[in-house]
Structure 1
Amino acid sequence: MAAAGAGPMLLPDSPLSGDVCALVISTCIALSLLRIFEETAKRGIFDQKLNRKLVHITIGLVFMLCWPLFSSGNQGAIIAALVPGINIVKVLLIGLGIVKDEATVKSMSRFGDHRELLTGPLYYASTITLCGTFYWRTSPIGIAAVCNLCAGDGFADIIGRRFGKKKLPYNTDKSFAGSLAMATSGFIASVGYMYYYSMFGFIEKSFGIVIGFLMVSIASALVESHPISTQFDDNLTVPLTSVLIGTLIFL
């Protein structure tokens, strides 16, 4: 891995001010994306399930693109984590019925019930917050967890619904096409972010890490296809699997 102090930031002479500026920029980008998908859900531009998965894929991955704006070390990681942390509060307030926001409910839920936000969307935001805080941009573990959750799980559903005629023998709710799409997209996204962060000196790209990403993505796809992921929500089981297998491989 690269040195912890490597990489760019907005204001090198004033790390705290630079991190605050990065926080504002990242928050604006995240909220703008959410607003766009709230509008597409409200206007019925996409099928509700597709709209929800597009939110699932893009929010976390786009936020990871903003990580180089922050300073290295604990300060940058904690301040960056405030972005998804704010969304945790929003999801809790809406999911508990304290705040009414039908557009958000439509864009993030399967069946339009605000209480759904207390499971999948809450696990999703928590995963990105914790990965940013504890693994940051120098760890393959955090990269794998977020990429398999966002790209992997997202494309598994989209591809599975469209091309998943052949079902898995141990779970008829899942398909070979969806599982293959999950492993492939999670792996490709992980490798892509390895190269992206290596450009800034945050992580050293290597063939060993690529193989590790492949193993993590395959394991995550297998767990996502298992009936246990339906019972406990794959937004919880997928990142837990990625972190567990990633820890065994990369540490």
Structure 2
Amino acid sequence: MLATMCTLSLTPALSLLLRRRHVHRSAVDLPLSSNFSLHCFSPKPPPTLPLHFLYRAPHAPTARTSSPSFTPRAAAGGALLQDAGATAAVLAGAYCLVLAFDTLTERKLIKQKLSRKLVHILSGLLFAISWPIFSTSNVARYFASSVPLVNCLRLVIYGRSLAIDEGLVKSLTREGNPEELLRGPLYYVLILMLCALVFWRESPVGVISLAMMCGGDGVADIMGRRFGLIKLPYNRQKSWVGSISMFISGFLISIGMLYYYSALGYLRLNWMSTIQRVAWVALVATIVESLPTTETVDDNLSVPLISMVVTYLSFGF
């Protein structure tokens, strides 16, 4: 009697189990055809967003922790330490760069004019490349801009002859006159400060402007002095080789800088549109640099400022 009751009680459960197994096997053994597929059981993919030309890099979610030591004050203190360390490192790097080329010039391994232009090219580009080592805090750009600010104060002091540094004057001026420090070199560091404070890492305007001022204009001067035999018809001080070199180098360095920040997640770009817009910026900057206005407006002002305007109009911000 007991065995009979156990058998009757197990029968519904066993029947249900066999039925589920049958349904599971039926679902697995279904033939795949053009009208029916197992993909119908998977959820539909979310609709893709329309491709915009430029995105801001998404912010990583803040990790939460139950540790009592993790507080907003501790995070802010860590950011300040990071920014202070980055500022010290960039200042030391800038000093070592100038010192290295001064040493090469004193040993007559490179000429003075070439040394000055190489410092012109590398200083601004290395400064822009160093921005990602600063923190994500709101004050990081102010720490970064303090680097050209220090150099700005040095230029004013030595340009006004309040102190004497013959090595600095020789490395940054064409004729060895300290007052030259208050023109081209001073404009140069002011543009570095402007790009760091206003545009920083989230906009292509700053990096393209620095690429055109440092890379484009710097390479144009080197190539024009060495190979510029055929002068421009409207400016006998500039050559076709120099202008073509500025366009090519400014374009390539700008693309390289944008790729650098895109790879780090600060910018997301539609590269087909980006290449066209950067080429347009490089062309306009090259035309402005070739104009006979050097005696009126220094290239360290005209080239980056026109690059800022055209880049802003092309990229949208």
TM-score category (smaller protein) = over 0.9
**Among the aligned pairs, what percent are the same residue?**
41
Picking from 202, 206, 214, the partner of 2:279 is: 214
| CA distance, structure 1, for counterparts of residue 162 and residue 246 of structure 2 | 35
Under a length normalisation based on structure 2, what TM-score does the superposition of the two structures give?
Answer: 0.74
| CA distance, structure 1, for counterparts of residue 155 and residue 299 of structure 2 | 18
State the AA in 2 paired with 1:121.
P
Shift of 1:4: 7.0
Instruction: Deviation per CA, 1:79-130: give whole Å up to 9, x if none.
Output: 1111111111111111111121111111110111111010000000110111
| CA distance, structure 1, for counterparts of residue 223 and residue 270 of structure 2 | 30
Residue 244 of structure 1 corresponds to 309
Partner of 1:71: helix, strand, or coil?
Answer: coil
| CA distance, structure 1, for counterparts of residue 266 and residue 137 of structure 2 | 11
Whether the 8 Å contact between 1:70 and 1:76 is mirrored in structure 2 is yes
Shift of 1:62: 1.0
Superposed counterparts of 1:23-102, under 5 Å = 23-72=87-136, 74-102=138-166
Partner of 1:227: helix, strand, or coil?
Answer: coil
Provide the aligned C-alpha RMSD in A. 1.6
| CA distance, structure 2, for counterparts of residue 4 and residue 214 of structure 1 | 27
| CA distance, structure 2, for counterparts of residue 72 and residue 241 of structure 1 | 29
List runs of 5+ in structure 1 lacking aligned partners: 7-11
Whether the 8 Å contact between 1:4 and 1:138 is mirrored in structure 2 is no
Residue 9 of structure 1 corresponds to none
Shift of 1:5: 4.5
The question of 1:119 aligning with 2:173 is answered no
Which segment drifts farther, 185-194 or 37-46? 37-46
Picking from 224, 232, 253, the partner of 1:160 is: 224
The question of 1:229 aligning with 2:308 is answered no
State the AA in 2 paired with 1:19.
D
State the AA in 2 paired with 1:216.
V
List runs of 5+ in structure 2 lacking aligned partners: 1-54, 61-73
Whether the 8 Å contact between 1:151 and 1:185 is mirrored in structure 2 is yes
Under a length normalisation based on structure 1, what TM-score does the superposition of the two structures give?
Answer: 0.93
Alignment coverage as a number of residue pairs: 246
Q: Runs of 4+ in structure 1 displaced over 4 angstroms?
A: none
Please identify the structure whose Cα radius of gyration is greater. 2
